[in-house]
Amino acid sequence: MTREEKIRLFDVNQLSIHNQLFGLPFTIEESEIVVIPVPWEVTVSYGSGTIDGPAMAFEASKQVDIFHPKYPEHWKRGIAFVDEPNHIRTLSDKLRPLAEKRINALENQADTSIEELAAIEKGCVLMIDWVEKTAKKYIDKGKKVLLLGGDHSTPLGLIKAISEQNDDLGVLQIDAHADLRVAYEGFTYSHASIMHNVLKETSITKLVQLGIRDYCQSEYKYIKDDNRIVTFFDRDIQSRLMAGETWKAIVDEVVAALPKNVYISFDVDGMQPVFCPNTGTPVYGGYTPQQIIFLVEQIKASGRIIKSFDINEIGPDELDANVASRLLWELSALL
């Protein structure tokens, strides 16, 4: 059956029987947008379970009504899921106990194993390289490539691939945490080090952070010392909102800080914990999904180009998966 025939026969008002993202009838080859799932949680330092987030979001997506009042033709573009990489999940399962052993040793001021740390570092590099190569494969085919994680270390390979294709690329990080720690707990590619690694290993020109409310002294100094970083701390934003300022006024400042080309890295703990309570490190404060969607709409309305995005730290729960899948649908419509 041709793609055109699938569009003609597909009924957006009925339950779909297709085993693809949002129940759409398209293969990866027939889809404009490709989503890479990364089942990975080796270096998580608090709650676990995000390894199952992408798969659960995939299942939850089939219950999303795909009619979009602003973009009613969006579904025809096609958005498809790459098969979950079993070797990445297996590697994560193998390395996670080693990481837990190291974290426990650090907490108890005991000796740690250099050999075990080396194995973890090697595995993290393998995951990042796989994401980058997979992203490039689909980018070279003219696809728009997105990512679902997994812990927040997972999108580094995608950001590398996108930055190589675009000059003057800025990253908008929506997050409760600054993620600027250098090799947190000894792990070079810790989930808490993702933005440090992005600044170090890619050619992005700007990092704009929104919602940051849990960070250490060295990260605060990093933000103040690096002129590539613009941070909108949640403490300040909440004070401004309570003093009567509008979300639109704050969003305008965020958008103005971004360059022409934008990559969005969205840790779901950037939202209020009620929306994704089972994420690994929830922190009170943050925003609603509607506020985030409004922000991204304003980025698009400004004439900036959203090149790609990730949604990560999805908790292993129906609510978290439901929220993440709906955000995936809404934000993909704005690409």
Task: Return the minimum-mean-pLDDT range out of 70-79, 105-114, 232-241, 283-292.
Answer: 105-114
The confidence score (pLDDT) of residue 89 equals 97
pLDDT of residue 16: 77
| CA of residue 160 relative to chain centroid, distance | 14
Q: What percent of the chain has pLDDT over 90?
A: 91
| Secondary structure class of 61 (helix, strand, coil) | helix
Element (H, E) at 318: helix 318-332
Q: Quote the pTM value.
A: 0.96
Task: Tell me the per-residue pLDDT of 245-257, one tens digit each, with 9 for 90 and over.
Answer: 999 999 999 999 9
d(CA 214, CA 237): 14
**pLDDT score of 241 more than 90:** yes
The Cα-based distances of 10 to 102, 168, 188, 234, 243 in angstroms read: 51, 40, 47, 43, 49
- Going by pLDDT thresholds of 50, 70 and 90, the confidence category of residue 111 is confident
How many angstroms separate the Cα of 270 from the Cα of each of 208, 221, 227? 13, 21, 23
Residue 258 · residue 169 · CB < 8 Å: no
Place of tokens 């426990």: 104
Judged against a pLDDT cut of 80, whether residue 209 lies above it is answered with yes
pLDDT mean over 164-188: 95
Angle, vertex CA 129, rays to CA 125 and CA 132, nearest 5: 140
- Is residue 160's pLDDT more than 80? yes
Q: Give the mean pLDDT of 12-29.
A: 90
DSSP for 180-231, written as a single string: --SSGGG-TT-GGGHHHHHHHHS--SEEEEEEE-B--HHHHHHHHH-TTEEE
pLDDT exceeds 90 at position 15 = no
CA 174 to chain centre: 9
pLDDT, position 334: 95
Number of other residues whose CB lies within 10 A of the CB of residue 160? 21
Q: Does the pLDDT at position 78 exceed 90?
A: yes
The torsion angles phi and psi of 309, rounded to 5 degrees, stand at -160, 165
* Average pLDDT of every residue of the chain: 96
Q: Compute the average pLDDT of residues 264-290.
A: 96
Task: Report whether pLDDT(206) > 80.
Answer: yes
Amino acid 17: pLDDT: 78
User: What structural domains does the chain harbor?
Assistant: 3-332 (3.40.800.10)
